[in-house]
Amino acid sequence: MTHRPIVGCVTGEASGEATDERGVAARRAVEAVWHIESGRLVAGLARVTGDLGLAEDLAQEALVAALEQWPFSGIPPNPGGWLMTTAKRRAIDAHRRTVTFERKAAVLAREAVADEPGVDTDSRVDSLDDPVGDDLLRLVFTACHPVLSLESRVALTLRCLGGLSTDEIARAFLVPEPTMAQRIVRAKKTLTDKGVRFELPTADELPRRLGPVLEVVYLIFNEGYAATSGEDWVRPALCQEAMRLGRVLVGLLPDEPEALGLLSLMELQASRLPARRGADGRPVLLPDQDRRRWDRLLVRRGLESLARAEASGRPLGPYAVQAAIAACHARALRQEDTDWQLVAELYDVLGTIWPSPVVEVNRAVAVGFSRGPDAGLEVVEQVAASGRLASYPHLHAVRGDLLERAGRHTEAAEAFERAADVTRSDVERALFADRAAAARARG
């Protein structure tokens, strides 16, 4: 087996005189390999060193070495093994320069000696071999450890599991790069200070430890979902990265219905992305979307993940129930084909396992379609009477819609006017004002 050449680069060329164009092409090819390998690389190094921060630094050094060497040598037959061996050698070099790494590097040195003679040995599976994904799973649970704040967990996950650069993460979350760099450094330090060990949670701990992981993935997804089309490409790309992480997680924990539920929820929501913006750039809400534009591959995959979650025979959690609701919409080729009875029943379940006034507002919509506007109003009036969500525009918009359908036009107009008052979005304000005027005209 031989090294694979990189597009535009002449393998075996000794000179470093690459043209700019070739240099860019080579860098992108090396980074592509890096994106594929980095999660397992960091995970394997963290297992060997027991230190996530050190593992990540070593992995970065291996990337630098690959960027220097691969444009001329070609991509080695076992790129993951090459990166692993190179990272270990960097640790030994560091050990020779300083005593700081003494103990950890001594362990690495013994392993690296066993790896001799060649960094490029292609027959070697090397320590990156992690067939059941335990290293990667340890990495997931360490990067999303509950001792870390949510924003630290998100940053560390994108850095260690996503292979994103600090600059990319900073741009995705609209903060300056030094702020994000500091957040990552602090997160690693917290793990060290709190003595978090690089290990798997026990079966007892798993339910408690899975929640923070899923929370991180869904936050990444929603950050991308909230992005607009004109923004820096890294933000919309967060949706894809979150779904990728969701798939990795489902591969590592195939029997967890909530991991499957979250993946299904993300895929079903993302299936609507192509239809979510009209030709004029304005957002198009679910009832008005051209469903022919939905992404059928994601719909199919989302429904499959949900079916697997349901087949687990275990009670469904909030993500799986939300996915089941999204599936009701995905299955309806026209808005009027929606099984509102089932949607309402699922919101009943969701309201029980995950009580929230926002869920109640959504439940009112489903009840309004399945049992009539008066039944829906009964649900939404309770939320309105509680005084919670008074500044949540959709509470007023949903109320307005139900009042309108109940023939109470003047009250409907007032509700839409209230919605227009509290929304912070110009597009929504115009929409609600139009609805209010239409209701007034009928009243």
Partner 1 sequence: MRYITILKGTQPAGPPPGGLMEAIMALGAEATASGELLDNAGLSPSASGARVAVTGGELSVMDGPFAEAKEFISYAVYEVRSKEEAVEWASRFMQLHADLWPGWQGECDVVKIMGPEDFGPPQ
Q: Among the residues of 226-353, which ranges form H helices?
A: 237-252, 257-270, 296-311, 318-331, 340-353
Q: Does 236 bind partner 1 (CB under 8 A)?
A: yes
- Tell me how far apart the alpha carbons of residues 33 and 79 are, in angstroms, rounded to a whole number: 7
Shortest distance, position 204 Cβ to partner 1, whole Å:
26
Q: Does 22 bind partner 1 (CB under 8 A)?
A: no
Which 68-97 residues touch partner 1, going by CB under 8 A?
Answer: 75, 77
Residue 75 three-state SS: strand
User: Which one of the spans 94-102, 271-279, 334-342, 427-435 is the region binding partner 1 (CB under 8 A)?
Assistant: 271-279
Chain centroid to Cα 428, Å, comes to 27
Q: Does 29 bind partner 1 (CB under 8 A)?
A: yes
User: CA triplet 221, 223, 229: central angle to 5 degrees?
Assistant: 105
Which 129-158 residues touch partner 1, going by CB under 8 A?
Answer: 133
* Nearest to partner 1 of 141, 347 (CB atom): 141
Q: Does 18 bind partner 1 (CB under 8 A)?
A: no
User: Which one of the spans 1-9, 55-63, 107-115, 411-419 is the region binding partner 1 (CB under 8 A)?
Assistant: 1-9
Shortest distance, position 252 Cβ to partner 1, whole Å:
8
Shortest distance, position 110 Cβ to partner 1, whole Å:
28
* Nearest to partner 1 of 33, 94 (CB atom): 33
Q: Among the residues of 194-236, which ranges form H helices?
A: 206-225
- Tell me how far apart the alpha carbons of residues 252 and 206 are, in angstroms, rounded to a whole number: 13
Angle between helices 318-331 and 340-353 (to 10 degrees): 170
Residue among 10, 13, 28, 232 that touches partner 1 (CB under 8 A) = 28
Which DSSP symbol is given to 336? G
Residue 239: which of 295, 193, 313 has the closest Cα?
295
- Tell me how far apart the alpha carbons of residues 251 and 133 are, in angstroms, rounded to a whole number: 9
Length of the chain equals: 443
Q: Does 274 bind partner 1 (CB under 8 A)?
A: yes
Residue among 185, 226, 297, 307 that touches partner 1 (CB under 8 A) = 297
Please enumerate in sequence order all residues whose Cβ is within 8 A of that of 85, keeping only pairs 6 or more positions apart, or say none. 112, 115, 119, 124, 126
Q: What is the x/- site pattern for partner 1, positions 391-420, by CB under 8 A?
A: ------------------------------
Shortest distance, position 182 Cβ to partner 1, whole Å:
25
Q: Which sign does the torsion angle of CA 167, 251, 66, 11 carry?
A: negative
Q: Does 277 bind partner 1 (CB under 8 A)?
A: yes
Q: Does 390 bind partner 1 (CB under 8 A)?
A: no
- Tell me how far apart the alpha carbons of residues 83 and 41 are, in angstroms, rounded to a whole number: 7
* Nearest to partner 1 of 74, 351 (CB atom): 74
Q: Does 32 bind partner 1 (CB under 8 A)?
A: yes
Which DSSP symbol is given to 294? S
Residue among 12, 251, 372, 407 that touches partner 1 (CB under 8 A) = 251
Q: Say if CB 254 and CB 311 are below 8 A apart.
A: no
- Binding footprint of partner 1 on the chain (CB under 8 A): 1, 4, 7, 28-29, 31-33, 35-36, 39, 75, 77, 133, 228-230, 233, 236-237, 240-241, 243-248, 251-252, 273-274, 277, 279-281, 297, 301
